[in-house]
Amino acid sequence: MCGRYTLFTPPEELETRFDATPTRPLSARYNCAPGQELPVVTNDAPEEFRFLKWGLVPSWADSESVGNDRINARAETVREKRSFADAYEARRCLVPSDGFYEWVDRGGDKQPYRVAFEDDRPFAMAGLWERWTPPTKQTGLGDFGSGGPSREQEPLETFTVVTTEPNDLVSELHHRMAVVLDPDEEETWLHGDPDEAAALLDTYPDDELTAYPVSARVNSPANDGPELIERVEA
């Protein structure tokens, strides 16, 4: 799975790399976690970094909490699963990152590792996004105890990261990894037809990737500083 990642590349470099402008200031992130609003590039506004909540909430969901279990979508079933099929057809996105974390069980303790390109360059993970409108709420009691006028709720935009089989490097850490796109594949992922997009859901080779142990402080989303990406003794 992909449950945490980093994005500390300088904003100017990110804007150049993805040819996109943020809708709010970008800041260095060393522990991006589910439930947070994070920058993505969507197929309907590829010129912008928009901030969506991590954890996809399908349009048919009754509650926002549904997204807690949908931070990842399996590449093998993404076209069939009810939660993701519509988004796969019409709402794909790029999730910018410059590394992701995986945890290894070391006899009861889980040791986090960071996986990244050797030069820490940014890349795009394949993502899906969705727009969910919460059920309308009554504003109060009207005559004879009936509900007052309904109040329109603001739509919530969310995303998920697509995962696939790991390469040899990541397989030592976990049985899944994020779908990492080559730069020349990103346009097709955003705007290609479903079959063209499906051809991109493969495993990224490990030739240029590295993995190294980092502090267990990354376990808590409350921690988010550059010390989290420093190498430690496993």
Catalytic residue from among 32, 93, 102, 130: 102
Report which of 127, 129, 133, 128 is spatially closest to residue 61, judged by C-alpha positions: 133
Report which of 41, 37, 31 is spatially closest to residue 6, judged by C-alpha positions: 31
Active-site residue, 2 included: yes
The encoded tokens of residue 234 equal: 């496993």
The strand pair at 5-7 and 137-138 is best described as unpaired
Report which of 20, 40, 14, 47 is spatially closest to residue 161, judged by C-alpha positions: 40
The encoded tokens of residue 90 equal: 């019409």
Look up residue 147 and give its DSSP letter.
B
AA identity, residue 116:
A
Active-site residue, 102 included: yes
Angle (CA) 60 46 203, round 5°: 75
The strand pair at 156-164 and 177-178 is best described as antiparallel
Catalytic residue from among 2, 32, 93, 130: 2
Q: Do residues 230 and 214 touch, judged by C-beta distance below 8 A? A: yes
Which residue in this structure is represented by tokens 């990492």? 180
Active site residues: 2, 102
